[in-house]
Structure 1
Amino acid sequence: MSPAGDAETVIKFPILIGDIGGTNARFAILVDSYAEPKEFPIVATADFANIDDAIQSAILDRTSMIPRSAVLAVAGPIDGDEIALTNCDWVVRPKVMSRDLGLEDIIVLNDFEAQALAVVALGAEHMVKIGGGEAEPNAGRIVLGPGTGLGVAGLVHACHTWIPVPGEGGHVDMGPRTARDLQVFPHLEQIEGRISAEQMLCGRGLVNLYRAVARADGGKEALSTPAEITAAAIEETDAVAVEALSMFVVGLGRLAGDLALVFMSRGGVYLTGGIAQKIVPALKKPAFREAFEDKAPHSELLRDIPVYVITHPLAALTGLAAYARTPSRFGVEIDHRRWVTR
C-alpha cells in the first residue's frame, strides 16, 4: 500500500472507474485525461460471485483497452484490505484484484464520495431544482441518495479545493412526529430494536413503509417491489402506495433538512440515485419542502437552501472521472485507500 494522500497524486491511464452499489455495478474506462469515458453495460451484482469476476467478464473480456489503474467507489465503509459492501455479498480485495487483473494502482472510495464529486462535475442541465433560493458557490453541500440503501456525504470547499466528506448518515435514527406516524411506526420492521433512516428511505424502506401502512389499517399488501409501489403511487392506482410514497417523501424532507442544518449546507442539498429521479413529481409537491423547512427556530434559514435532484443516470461515474483526470482539484484523502504494486 502506498503512503498516498499527497497533493501530487498521479493516476496512470488507462483508468478503470467503477461505481459499485448493492444491486448494480457501473464501469467505464478513461483512456486519457481528455477522452470521454468508454461506458459498459450495467452489471447486476447478483450475476457474479465477486467484483473480480464481474470486471473480467463484463469489461476486460469485451475490450482491447487494458487499464493500468482503477478508481472504484463502493457502497460501504473502507477499512483494511478486505472491503465488504453493506447491501451486497461482494468483498473487494484490492491486493487480489491487482494480482489477478494486472492493475498497478487501485484507489477505493466510498460510493457517496463519488456522488459528492459529481455535484461539482455536473452542469445545471443535469439537475432539477426543488425550491429554495440560490446556492452559494463555495458553501458546504450535502448529497443524499435513496437507492438499495441510503447514502449520505458532505462536500466542503477549502483552499481552492473541493473536499468530499464520506459517512454513514443513512443509519441515523428516525422517529414519528404526527398522529398518523404513531399509528404506522409500530408496524415498521426494525433492526435490533431501532428504526434507522435506511429502514424507511431506500428501496426496501419504501416496501417497509407500504407494508406498515397496510397493516396499520388492517388492509391488504397487494404490491411487493419498490418499482410497483412507486408506479402505483405516481399513477394513484393504489391508496396504500400513495400514502407510503407520501410518508417516504416527508421522511426524506425531514432528514434532508436535518442534514442541511448539521452541515449548514448553503451550497444546497443534492438528491441522487434512481429513486429520487423516479419520484420527482412527488418531490415537487409542497409536502417535501414543508418537511424540509419545518425546523423551528431555523425554518427561515432552511427556506433559503435549495434542493436539487441530480438527473444524470451515471452521476457517480462522472464524479470518479473528474477525480481520475485531475486529482489535485479534489481533496480526497487516499491514505490507507490506495494500493500500488509497481
Structure 2
Amino acid sequence: MPKPLDNDKLTFPILIGDIGGTNARFSILIDAYAEPKQFPSVHTADFSTLDEAIQITVLDKTSVQPRSALLAIAGPIEGDEIPLTNCDWVVRPRAMIADLGFAEVMVVNDFEAQALAVASLSDEDRAPIGNNNHSPVASRVVLGPGTGLGVAGLVHAQHTWFPVPGEGGHVDIGPRSERDFAIFPHLTPIEGRISAEQLLCGRGIVNIYTAVCLADGVEPKFTIPADITATGLSAADAQAAETISLFVTYLGRLAGDLALIFMARGGVFLSGGISQKIIPALQRPEFRQAFEDKAPHTALMKTIPTFVVTHPLAALSGLAAYARTPASFGLATEGRRWRR
C-alpha cells in the first residue's frame, strides 16, 4: 500500500481528471492562481485504458508536462488497482507514474470531487429547487444521477469542509403509493432487489418507462434514456411523461432520506447531466413534495434547501479548488496517494 502522506500540496502542474462510467474529462492546472486549461471530453468506450486516454487526449496535445495527477473515479478506492464501477477501465497509479512521467498520483471518489465542488462553487453555479435559495455553512449532501447514481456527504467543522464518500446509490428503494405498487413488479431488479441506482440513473429511466408501459399494457416505444426524457418533458407521450414525474418523485424521496441521515441543513445538491436536463421537471411540485414528506419531520424538511449544480464541469472545479488550497478541505489521502 502507498505510504501515508501529510495533506500537503500536490506538485504543479497538475493533471485533473473526472473519470465517469461514460465520459472522461481532463484539465491541467498550471499553478494555484491559473484557470485550468480544459481539454475535450472523451468517451471511455473509445479507449482501452485510462492511460491511453490521458496520453492521446492530453499529453499528446500540450507542451505542458504535468508533474502530478489528481483523479476522481466512479468507484470505491482500495489497493493499487482500482476498477471503475460502470466502465472496464482499471486505474493503476504506480503504472501511471512509471509510464506517463508523473511524480505523484492521487485518486479520490468521483462524488468526493462533486462534494468539493459543492463546497466551493458560487451561487451562480446552482439553481434553487423550491422557494429556499439560501445555503448556510452547514452539512450538505450531493446526489447525482448519471451513468450510475453517486452520493456523498459534506460536513463542515473547524472551518474545514470534510467530504464523506460512500456508495449510497445502492441503498434499497421501495414502493409507497398505489401506483408504485402497480409499477414495481415490472421493474428489473439486481439480484432480487431494487436499488436506488436501478431507478435513478440513465438505465433507470428506461427501467421505469418500461415498467410503466407494462403496467398500462402498452408496448414500449423508446429504449434510449434521452428519448424518454425529451418526450416526457414535452408531454408528447403519456408513459414517458409519467416516467419523468416518477423519476423526480423517487429522486425527491431519496434526497429527503439523505438529508435526514446527514442532517443536511446546508442543502441537498443534485449534480450531473441528467439533473441539469430535467430542471423544468424538478421545479414542478413533485420533487419538493416527495422531499418534504418525511413525517414527523416535515417542518424540518421545509427548511432544507435543494439545488441543481449547473456548473458544466463541477467535479473538475472541485478538484481544482482542493489542488489550490488542500488545507481548506479534510480530504483523506492515506491509501489514495502514490509517489515515485
TM-score by length of 1: 0.98
Q: Which runs of 5+ in 2 are unaligned?
A: none
The letter for the 1-side match of 2:277 is K
The letter for the 1-side match of 2:63 is S
State how 1:67-86 maps to structure 2 within 5 Å: 67-86=66-85
1:279-311 CA deviation, whole Å, 9 max, x = no partner? 000000001100000000001000000001001
Pairwise CA RMSD of aligned residues?
1.0
1:146-203 CA deviation, whole Å, 9 max, x = no partner? 0000000000111111110000000000000011100100110100000000000000
Query: 1: CA distance between counterparts of 2:157 and 2:299?
Result: 26
Tell me if structure 2 keeps the 8 A contact 1:134–1:305.
Answer: no
Are 2:280 and 1:281 equivalent residues in the alignment?
yes
User: Shift of residue 40 of structure 1?
Assistant: 0.2
Count of matched residue pairs: 340
User: Shift of residue 326 of structure 1?
Assistant: 1.1
1:94-119 CA deviation, whole Å, 9 max, x = no partner? 11111110111100000000000001
User: Shift of residue 132 of structure 1?
Assistant: 5.1
User: Shift of residue 3 of structure 1?
Assistant: 3.4
In the other structure, the counterpart of 1:188 is 187
Query: 1: CA distance between counterparts of 2:271 and 2:232?
Result: 20
Tell me if structure 2 keeps the 8 A contact 1:132–1:305.
Answer: no
User: Shift of residue 133 of structure 1?
Assistant: 3.5
In the other structure, the counterpart of 1:29 is 28
Return closer, same or farther for 1:258/1:132 CA change in 2, 3 Å cut-off. Answer: farther
Are 2:197 and 1:198 equivalent residues in the alignment?
yes
State how 1:3-18 maps to structure 2 within 5 Å: 3-7=3-7, 9-18=8-17
2:72 is paired with a residue whose SS is: strand
Return closer, same or farther for 1:41/1:323 CA change in 2, 3 Å cut-off. Answer: same
In the other structure, the counterpart of 2:110 is 111
Tell me if structure 1 keeps the 8 A contact 2:3–2:338.
Answer: no
Instruction: Give every structure 1 segment of 4 or more consecutive aligned residues whose post-TM-superposition deviation is greater than 6 Å.
Output: none
State how 1:254-293 maps to structure 2 within 5 Å: 254-293=253-292
Are 2:155 and 1:156 equivalent residues in the alignment?
yes
Query: 2: CA distance between counterparts of 1:73 and 1:30?
Result: 15
State how 1:1-342 maps to structure 2 within 5 Å: 2-7=2-7, 9-131=8-130, 133=132, 135=134, 137-341=136-340
Query: 1: CA distance between counterparts of 2:180 and 2:135?
Result: 35
User: Shift of residue 134 of structure 1?
Assistant: 5.5
Query: 2: CA distance between counterparts of 1:163 and 1:262?
Result: 16
Query: 1: CA distance between counterparts of 2:288 and 2:5?
Result: 39
Query: 2: CA distance between counterparts of 1:317 and 1:260?
Result: 25
User: Shift of residue 86 of structure 1?
Assistant: 0.5
Query: 1: CA distance between counterparts of 2:144 and 2:2?
Result: 31
Tell me if structure 2 keeps the 8 A contact 1:5–1:332.
Answer: no
1:190-238 CA deviation, whole Å, 9 max, x = no partner? 0000000000000000010011101111101111111101100111111
Q: Give identity over the alignment, percent.
A: 65
1:222-265 CA deviation, whole Å, 9 max, x = no partner? 11111101100111111111011111000000000000000000
